[in-house]
């Protein structure tokens, strides 16, 4: 219904002329009716007119049929016309010339983002090409951090909102039964290296009803696309999906839902996870499968993989046994094929770039050295998202 209203809104400059045209058609129809009545009474018409005017049908039903045909034809004409747009020339008065532009007057998309700080900063460059982008912070984080982190960017169309008036504590249950919290930083603790999260819970022991900010619900309801990630699956994305009102708003939204999958697994959180495992967690906690899942297809060279392996991290890969079907797409990348996993279309493309940073030496932890690591590339991620937004137009 929202897309129909959006398309018909392109006729906003045509309401008056369309109303006059409709009135003119009614007057013409009345005139034609009087002329045909006069002809029937004064001359003998060819037999074909008997069938064209449905004389074999009762007069009342004949009128109903012509009314329905007229409404259907008029509706089709208006719907076809809505694919065009009338734009008044800037600076001209309403009585002067207007420009008729036979093209779709699409506005830039509105985006809602559910991610953590680093992921939101990766997506910040999209602010140049959107109508609005609302970044919904993780429920456990204060918004002040995001405003400080984003101060380096000057994108007026990017705003940060908190999902709830006050931060809410999040608890992770590990596969060994232990309960930990994000502040425990288990991804940096060797004893949790091979652990993974089996449950995520919000601390609502006080019994208070979870209040959700109006900005969050409005952003989801008005979004053309909802982006999950990039960022930690369990720290940055899942917690907000545990809030009933947000989960319902996401379910009601007809926006494209795009999940940007992690490049590497997180020790203590997603150890051993494949792409399908990530998607299953979104389905489990969010109640929906993303329309698209963006997966980094860049090959990880042996040296970089060795660095990550030492930190108990492995590339998040697409397991062949998880394929449900393969679909062929024609896109900006040319003809290619995507696969469906857990009901989501998985798009493999280059999303990462190698950056150099200081880290401990593998041979001697007391010494440091420069190494190359992979990070989501803002320009590559933005290009991939824009490509998906153009699909299905």
Residue 82 structure tokens: 């809505």
Task: Provide φ and ψ at 267, rounded to 5°.
Answer: -60, 135
pLDDT tens profile 60-79: 787 778 778 877 887 777 77
Dihedral of the alpha carbons of 294, 298, 301, 303, in degrees to the nearest 10 = -50
**Domain shared by 332 and 353, yes or no:** yes
Q: Is 37 within 8 Å of 132 (Cβ atoms)? A: no
User: Residue 349 has what pLDDT?
Assistant: 93
pLDDT, residue 206, reads 64
- C-beta of residue 279 within 8 angstroms of C-beta of residue 270: no
Q: What percent of the chain has pLDDT over 70?
A: 78
Q: Which two tokens stand for residue 142?
A: 């204060």
User: Are 251 and 154 members of one domain?
Assistant: yes
Q: Are residues 106 and 10 in contact, defined by beta-carbon separation less than 8 angstroms? A: no
Q: Is 65 helix (H, G, I), strand (E, B) or coil?
A: helix
Q: Specify the 3-state DSSP secondary structure of 166.
A: coil
Confirm if 10 and 79 have CB atoms less than 8 A apart: no
Average pLDDT over residues 181-197: 91
- Answer yes or no: do 43 and 180 share one domain: no
Of 41, 74, 101, the position where a domain reaches its end is: 101
**CA dist., res. 290 & res. 277, Å (int):** 13
- Predicted confidence at residue 107, as pLDDT, reads 79
E strands, 43-97, are 85-88
**Do 124 and 220 belong to one domain?**
yes
Does 179 share its domain with 251? yes
Would the pLDDT of 24 be above 80? no
Q: How far apart are CA 78 and CA 41, in angstroms?
A: 36
Q: Which of 70, 101, 132 is the last residue of a domain?
A: 101
Average pLDDT for residues 303-314, to the nearest whole number? 88
What angle in degrees, to the nearest 10, is found between the helix axes of 244-252 and 214-222? 20
The mean predicted confidence, pLDDT, of the chain is 82
**What is the tens place of the pLDDT at every residue in 276-293?**
999 999 999 999 999 999
Residue for token digits 């420009």? 99
Read off the pLDDT of each residue in 151-180 and give the average, rounded to a whole number.
87
Are 280 and 349 members of one domain? yes
- 19-33, 137-151, 278-292, 327-341: the lowest-pLDDT one: 327-341
**126-135, 247-256, 297-306: least confidently modelled range:** 297-306
Note whether 87 and 150 are same-domain residues. no
pLDDT score of 101: 43
Q: Please give the Cα distance from 371 to 308 (Å, whole number).
A: 10
Q: In this structure, are 298 and 374 located in the same domain?
A: yes
Q: Which of 5-19, 118-132, 203-217, 340-354 has the lowest mean pLDDT?
A: 5-19
Q: At 356, give phi and psi (nearest 5°).
A: -105, 130
Tens-digit pLDDT profile for residues 293-303: 999 998 788 88
**CATH code: domain of residue 175:** 3.40.50.10680
Once rounded to an integer, what is the mean pLDDT over residues 163-190? Answer: 93
CB 186 within 8 Å of CB 266: no
User: Last residue of some domain: 101, 119, 152?
Assistant: 101
Q: Give the β-pairing of 225-228 and 256-260.
A: parallel
Confidence band, pLDDT 50/70/90 cuts, at residue 91: very low
Q: What is the Cα–Cα distance from 361 to 309, expressed in whole angstroms?
A: 13
Q: Are residues 139 and 260 in the same domain?
A: yes
Going by pLDDT thresholds of 50, 70 and 90, the confidence category of residue 90 is very low
* Same domain assignment for residues 91 and 119: no
- Determine the average pLDDT of the residues in 26-48: 77
| Separate counts of helices (H) and strands (E) for the chain | 12, 16
pLDDT category of residue 181 using cuts at 50, 70 and 90: very high
DSSP three-state, residue 204: coil
What are the start-end ranges of the E strands in 10-115?
A: 85-88, 98-101, 110-114
User: What was the pLDDT predicted at 330?
Assistant: 54
Q: Token pair for residue 384?
A: 């991939």
Sign of torsion, CA 209 223 251 290?
negative
Give residue 69's domain range. Answer: 2-101
Range with the lowest mean pLDDT among 131-140, 333-342, 374-383?
333-342
Do 238 and 208 lie in one domain? The reply is yes
Give the list of residues 6+ apart from residue 315 with CB closer than 8 angstroms, or none.
263, 264, 265, 296, 300, 305, 308
pLDDT value, residue 69: 82
Between CA 134 and CA 309, with CA 231 as vertex, the angle to 5 degrees is 170
Stronger pLDDT, 337 or 244, i.e. the higher one: 244
Domain count, the chain: 2
Same domain, 289 and 233: yes
């Amino acid at each position: 219904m929202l897309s129909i209203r959006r398309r018909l809104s392109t006729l906003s400059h045509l309401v008056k002329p369309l109303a006059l045209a409709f009135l003119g058609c009614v007057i013409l129809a009345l005139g034609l009716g009087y002329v045909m009545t006069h002809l029937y009474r004064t001359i003998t018409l060819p037999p074909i007119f008997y069938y064209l005017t449905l004389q074999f049908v009762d007069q009342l039903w004949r009128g109903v049929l012509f009314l329905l045909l007229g409404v259907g034809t008029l509706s089709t004409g208006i719907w076809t016309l809505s694919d065009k747009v009338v734009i008044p020339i800037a600076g001209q008065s309403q009585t002067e010339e207007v420009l008729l532009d036979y093209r779709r007057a699409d506005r830039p998309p509105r985006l809602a983002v559910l991610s953590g700080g680093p992921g939101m900063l990766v997506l910040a460059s999209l602010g140049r090409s959107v109508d609005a982008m609302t970044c919904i912070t993780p429920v456990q984080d204060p918004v002040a951090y995001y405003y400080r982190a984003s101060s380096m960017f000057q994108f007026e169309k990017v705003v940060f909102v908190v999902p709830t008036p006050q931060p809410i504590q999040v608890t992770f249950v590990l596969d060994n039964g232990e309960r930990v919290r994000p502040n425990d930083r288990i991804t940096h603790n060797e004893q949790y290296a091979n652990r993974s999260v089996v449950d995520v819970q919000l601390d609502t022991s006080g019994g208070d009803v979870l209040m959700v900010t109006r900005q969050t619900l409005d952003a989801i309801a008005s979004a053309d696309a909802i982006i999950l990630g990039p960022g930690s699956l369990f720290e940055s994305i899942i917690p907000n999906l545990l809030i009933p009102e947000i989960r319902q708003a996401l379910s009601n939204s007809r926006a494209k839902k795009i999940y940007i999958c992690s490049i590497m697994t997180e020790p203590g959180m997603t150890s051993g996870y494949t792409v399908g495992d990530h998607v299953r967690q979104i389905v489990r906690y969010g109640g929906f499968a993303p329309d698209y899942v963006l997966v980094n297809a860049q090959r990880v060279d042996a040296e970089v993989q060795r660095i990550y392996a030492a930190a108990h991290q492995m590339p998040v890969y697409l397991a062949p046994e998880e394929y449900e079907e393969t679909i062929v797409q024609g896109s900006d990348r040319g003809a290619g094929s995507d696969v469906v996993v857990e009901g989501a279309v998985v798009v493999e493309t280059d999303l990462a770039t190698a950056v150099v940073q200081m880290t401990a030496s593998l041979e001697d932890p007391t010494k440091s050295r420069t190494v190359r690591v992979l990070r989501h590339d803002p320009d590559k991620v933005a290009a991939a998202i824009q490509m998906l937004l153009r699909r299905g137009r």
